[in-house]
Amino acid sequence: MKGIEKTRNSLWSRMAGLFTRSLDEDFFEALEESLILADVGVNTALEMVEELRAVTKQKKITSPELAREALAEIAEEKLGSVQPDFSGPCLILVVGVNGAGKTTTIARLSQRFKMQGRKVMMVAGDTFRAAASEQLGQWAQRTEAQFVRGSEGSDPAAVIFDGINAARARQCDIVLCDTAGRLHSRKNLMEELKKIHSVAAKGFIGKVLTMLVLDATMGLNGLEQARVFDEAIKIDGITLTKLDGTAKGGVVLAVSDQLGIPVWFCGVGEKEDDLQPFDANAYAHTLFK
Ligand SMILES: Nc1nc2c(ncn2[C@@H]2O[C@H](COP(=O)(O)OP(=O)(O)OP(=O)(O)O)[C@@H](O)[C@H]2O)c(=O)[nH]1
Ligand SMILES: [Mg+2]
């Protein structure tokens, strides 16, 4: 899998000297430390190492190379295999902190859906900055999506409401709603998000999904963001951006395992098609190979 080379290299560089030896206490200790440094999260790292100890004992595995394979399987299990279902009329409310990559992700999703023959509506629910709506409008043009925006400072929930009506009138079956970046610690902004979500949930005839965009370079900070956004509007899936620029890609394991929220997509670069559907098997085997 593309984009997790930095995480993989950093994870295993600390272990290099241990691979010539047998599986001993040093190996397990170094592994635990490396996992924690890759932002897998302390709880998940401890669990993984415990499970690996049990499996190697049970299967009488003695070489670190074989232990790596066993570890990949443990990781894959922790990641789960829930695939997003975007069939039928579907609205995706895209949320996250400032600069996480929400607007970029919407543009990339629009391109993907268009290729699949879907008719896309983009709604500029980020009314905080005029430039934000303009940025999204340009992406709508480039990906030939329909587009609805409000004026600067207008009520984002009202813009989403208008977008839903326009999507129905123009027979769009995928509605991608952008929202302003907001810090999860800002109570009033999280209340505003609840209102936006409730308007979408009540107004849209099809499935309403919430997608949290997390910046992978923030590492475990993303876990806390996910927890708070999930409390406010119940997050259905995560897109993890900027995985290409960080050694903290282990945070995927932390959010899947500790919050049970599936990772749907990964941003792995600056180019337009650098958004990959998340593949637990490929992730686990690339990271632990
Ligand atoms: N390297 C890399 N950069 C990315 C990725 N995804 C987004 N970016 C960059 O991150 C920056 C912020 O992206 P935006 O999409 O504007 O983020 P946003 O969440 O909409 O930001 P606000 O609307 O200000 O809250 C841009 O410079 C993007 O090019 C990725 O997967 N990899
Ligand atoms: Mg934006």
State the angle between helix axes of 280-288 and 5-13 in degrees (0 to 180), rounded to the nearest 10: 40
Question: How much is the average pLDDT of 139-159?
Answer: 96
Share of the chain above pLDDT 70, in %: 100
pLDDT band at 17 (very low <50, low <70, confident <90, very high): confident
Looking at residue 134, what is its pLDDT? 95
SS3 track for 231-262: HHHCCCEEEEECHHHCCCCCHHHHHHHHHCCC
**Residue 217 three-state SS:** helix
Report whether residue 215 contacts ligand 1, using a CB cutoff of 6 Å.
Answer: no
Q: Indicate if the pLDDT at residue 55 is higher than 90.
A: yes
Distance of alpha carbon 222 from alpha carbon 153, whole angstroms? 28
Q: Indicate if the pLDDT at residue 240 is higher than 90.
A: yes
Report whether residue 203 contacts ligand 1, using a CB cutoff of 6 Å.
Answer: no
Largest CA distance in the chain: 67
How many helices (DSSP H) and strands (DSSP E) are in the chain? 11, 8
Q: Indicate if the pLDDT at residue 83 is higher than 90.
A: no
The residue whose C-alpha atom lies closest to atom 26 belonging to ligand 1 is: 101
Report whether residue 102 contacts ligand 1, using a CB cutoff of 6 Å.
Answer: yes
**Closest ligand 1 atom number to CA of residue 107:** 15
**Closest ligand 1 atom number to CA of residue 99:** 21
The residue whose C-alpha atom lies closest to atom 7 belonging to ligand 1 is: 101
pLDDT band at 75 (very low <50, low <70, confident <90, very high): very high
Q: Indicate if the pLDDT at residue 74 is higher than 90.
A: yes
Report whether residue 68 contacts ligand 1, using a CB cutoff of 6 Å.
Answer: no
Ordered by where they begin, the domains of the chain are: 90-235 (3.40.50.300)
Question: How much is the average pLDDT of 115-132?
Answer: 95
**Mutational pocket test of ligand 1: of 239, 241, 271, the residue with most ligand atoms within 8 Å of the beta carbon:** 241
Report whether residue 100 contacts ligand 1, using a CB cutoff of 6 Å.
Answer: yes
Looking at residue 246, what is its pLDDT? 93
Distance of alpha carbon 163 from alpha carbon 103, whole angstroms? 16
pLDDT band at 20 (very low <50, low <70, confident <90, very high): confident
* Dist. CA 5 → ligand 2 center (Å): 27
Q: Indicate if the pLDDT at residue 215 is higher than 80.
A: yes
* Dist. CA 41 → ligand 2 center (Å): 28
Residue 125: strand pairing partners? 179
Other beta carbons less than 10 A from residue 66's beta carbon: 14
Model pTM greater than 0.85? yes
Report whether residue 239 contacts ligand 1, using a CB cutoff of 6 Å.
Answer: no
Looking at residue 279, what is its pLDDT? 93
Q: Indicate if the pLDDT at residue 18 is higher than 90.
A: no
**Closest ligand 1 atom number to CA of residue 98:** 25
**Closest ligand 1 atom number to CA of residue 135:** 16
The residue whose C-alpha atom lies closest to atom 5 belonging to ligand 1 is: 242
Q: Indicate if the pLDDT at residue 119 is higher than 90.
A: yes
Distance of alpha carbon 51 from alpha carbon 70, whole angstroms? 9
Report whether residue 242 contacts ligand 1, using a CB cutoff of 6 Å.
Answer: yes
**Mutational pocket test of ligand 1: of 94, 104, 189, the residue with most ligand atoms within 8 Å of the beta carbon:** 104
Q: Indicate if the pLDDT at residue 19 is higher than 80.
A: no
pLDDT in tens, 161-204: 999 999 999 999 999 999 999 999 999 999 999 999 999 999 99
